[in-house]
Structure 1
């Protein structure tokens, strides 16, 4: 895998008083040799978000195009942040690191996205 093929996934703030989501973090899809110490809990959180939208089509692994499709495009939320469903795949398979500020948010919510 070539890190030059990395893309960024935006995690948007859905609690913006102006009504439009704004980007809080950019998560570069750069493979890491080992996961975050709380990686399993982070995955639990990412997978426990409420579905906001589902789009037609499929998501492919941009870091390994030989892999079959991942899933359908889905947007998840915890009521404050929103993220693409495939983010969990990149954390699980490639140990992609998330911003520590967001990990702290997850920890404060006991690793389960609040129902929105």
Structure 2
């Protein structure tokens, strides 16, 4: 199993894997096996399709919504409303503030995730209620 990927076996023996985009130590607990600091993934500039990738990140389905503001970990003084909320496309999950870091600091995402976004033509697929329930359980488990 890859770092940041979790798998639960359902009662009907169907497994759902969860991959975390933006798996940085500033945002996720040690149980999630963060990839390191977000500072290690800052790029000089963004990809040509960065705006469309950010739109995809904003369009995910909410696994759960968190009230409050998340402060920019780079110290800009900016706050991101609901930044610790978690979104999904059914396969990957990410914090709501990830799009802020991608657009402002050109934070690099896992290549597998970017390839998925592009293959889906920047359109988040519909996530089933069953899959959403399982993803929620997985998030709760690693955050507790």
- Which interval holds the TM-score relative to the shorter structure? 0.7 to 0.9
Structure (1/2) with the larger helix percentage:
2
**Which blocks of at least 5 consecutive residues in structure 2 are unaligned?**
11-15, 25-36, 128-144
**Which blocks of at least 5 consecutive residues in structure 1 are unaligned?**
1-9
Report whether the alignment pairs 1:35 with 2:35.
Answer: no
Return closer, same or farther for 1:48/1:80 CA change in 2, 3 Å cut-off: same
TM-score (norm 1): 0.74
Q: Superposition pairs for residues 64-79 of structure 1, below 5 Å? A: 64=75, 66-72=76-82, 73-79=84-90
Residue 110 of structure 1: SS of its match in structure 2? coil
Return closer, same or farther for 1:51/1:105 CA change in 2, 3 Å cut-off: same
Report whether the alignment pairs 1:80 with 2:61.
Answer: no
Report whether the alignment pairs 1:105 with 2:96.
Answer: no
Q: Which moved more, 1:24-33 or 1:103-112?
A: 24-33
Larger radius of gyration: 2
Residue 70 of structure 1: SS of its match in structure 2? strand
| 1:5 match | none
Count of residues in Structure 1 that have an aligned counterpart in Structure 2 = 104
TM-score (norm 2): 0.61
